[in-house]
Structure 1
Amino acid sequence: MRTVRTAAWILVGIAVFALVWLLLWADYRAAQVEEGGPTFQAAFELTDHEGMIRTQEDFAGQWMLVFFGFANCPDVCPTTLAEVAAVMDGLGEDAGRVQPLFVSIDPERDTPTALAEFVPAFGAGIVGLTGTPEQIARTADGFHIYYDKVEEAAAPGGYTMGHSSQLFLFGPEAGYVRSWPYGTPAEEILADLNEHLAS
């Protein structure tokens, strides 16, 4: 009986140790992100809305605001791009240091021509990016983005897209800096971005 009890206490001790270690590791990773330490790099090779092949190297030395979405999105995407435009406007002379990118997760409908009709409506120098299904899947995986095709009879083409909705910030060397969840006001994003630009 004593052996069973001892073994049980050992297992409890191991479980507590594992839990504490996981919590400390999570805090460490969160601190890394908050301090601006990149946890991954922006990497892509896609076609922009003017038909040119673009990679992260084209924006070397600039901060990048990156959002994944699709042109037929009824709410989240246009709202976020409008917020990005407001942020870019609020940057004033610093706007040239930041490049906003809109990466499509709907290559079937979002051709360069379709993006050329959608993205410029928001101004702010936003560059729309698309590619083959394989290129989009590879890019989304690299950015840890979820997306999925959802059948919807009333939508154009009979489907819509479910997807992650955060706005990413990458530094001048394409390292991840932070992200903002959907619905974060432009004023808050602008304040955070200004702090990074000033550091």
Structure 2
Amino acid sequence: MLKLIPKRSLTQKPLLLYRGSLRANFSTSFVRLNESNPITPPSESHKPRKPLSRIPIGGSTTQSQKLNSSGNIEFASWKAAVLMAVTGGVLYYFFSSEKKRLQVQQDAESNRGYGRPLVGGPFTLIDSEGKEFTQENLKGKFSIVYFGFTHCPDICPDELDKLGSWLSQLKKEGYEIQPIFITCDPARDTPNVIKEYLSDFHPSIIGLTGTYEQVKDCCKQYRVYFSTPENVKPGQDYLVDHSIFFYLMDSDGEFIDALGRNYDNETGPLRIKEQIDAFIPKKEREKKKQSGWSLF
């Protein structure tokens, strides 16, 4: 006997089969997609970097950590500023010293004069031991020359005391100077009188005297004012005037500077050291002039 199936049952079954087929196909496609494109977790090297990271271009995280631990931009800038300040100070000191040295050389060159020296020249005198002393004895060392006389009441003793202080200070700093005292009063200042007089000031001072004409000629060479009368009787009282300068002579026996009473125990040695440090020997100066090269 045939049994009739309801119409709704016939329509529902194919629908159920169709849905099952769709699900099967979708699952199979999803599995295949996952197999062809596997999803891997992000590794340590591919982690995204922070937008404001201090890692330098081409660097690594380790380099950035070292930079942060040893210093930063502010610290590097501070060191650069200190380095620039020190470098600038050294350069300023060097150029200032060099400018001062060139100025001293120029002053000395102008004091020497051109052709015939403005101050200094040939002379012949005798020292306190009776030995001849000429301008040749000035060569080979720096000398400082002072003109005075033993009967001077105040100026000469003050200036010779100052000279003794200069000599002691210069010797401590390694500067050897030949000090010379030339009398403007040859009638009374014999070699023995000068020797005894200078012993009260400094043992290295060389005392010079001579005849009236010899002393007068020497004063003329050094442009020293000389007013001592020529014909003086023994025991006669008279006045002596003279210039009050220390004449600094270089190792070539040429005049380079005159130090007046305005130089004290500090500025006097300083000026002498400047002249000695800036000195250029005569042969070297002439060689530079012949080659057409000059510092001035």
- Specify the TM-score bucket, using the shorter chain as the normaliser: 0.7 to 0.9
Give distance in 2, aligned partners of 1:96 and 1:52.
26
Question: Which position in structure 2 is the counterpart of 1:75?
Answer: 154
TM-score (norm 2): 0.52
Residue 35 (structure 1) aligns with = 107
Identify, as 1 or 2, the structure richer in strand.
Answer: 1
Provide the residue aligned with 2:139 in structure 1. 60
Q: Amino acid of the residue matched to residue 56 of structure 1?
A: Q
- Which segments of structure 1 move beyond 3 Å, counting only runs of 4 or more? 31-34, 93-96
Question: What is the aligned-residue identity percentage?
Answer: 28
| 1:60 Cα offset (Å) | 1.4
**C-alpha contact 1:46 1:55 (8 A) present in aligned 2:** yes
Larger RCO (alpha carbons 8 Å, 6+ apart)? 1
Shift of 1:195: 1.1
8 Å contact 1:88–1:124 — kept in the other structure?
no
Unaligned runs of 5+ in 1: 1-30, 151-155
Q: What amino acid does structure 1 have at the position aligned with 2:181?
A: F
Counterpart in the other structure of 2:177? 98
* Counterparts of 1:111 and 1:95, CA distance in 2: 33
Cα deviation digits, residues 1-46 of structure 1 (max 9, x gap): xxxxxxxxxxxxxxxxxxxxxxxxxxxxxx8985211132443210
Encode CA deviations 1:108-160: one digit per residue, 9 max, x unaligned.
0001011011112211400000000000111000001102138xxxxx74112
Work out the CA distance in 2 between the residues paired with 1:67 and 1:89: 17
The alignment partner of 2:228 has SS state of: strand
Gaps of 5+ in 2: 1-102, 230-234, 279-296
Aligned residue pair count: 164
Equivalent residue for 1:181, pick from 260, 273, 281 = 260
Tell whether the 8 Å contact from 2:105 to 2:275 is kept in structure 1 after alignment: no
- Cα drift, residue 69 of structure 1: 0.6
What is the RMSD of the two structures over their aligned residues, measured on CA atoms? 2.1
Aligned-pair distance for 1:167? 1.0
Q: Which amino acid aligns with 2:107?
A: E
CA-CA distance at 1:57 after TM superposition: 1.2
Give the aligned residue type for 1:44: F
AA aligned opposite 2:137: D
User: In the alignment, residue 108 of structure 2 is paired with which amino acid?
Assistant: G
TM-aligned CA deviation for residue 88 of structure 1: 0.4
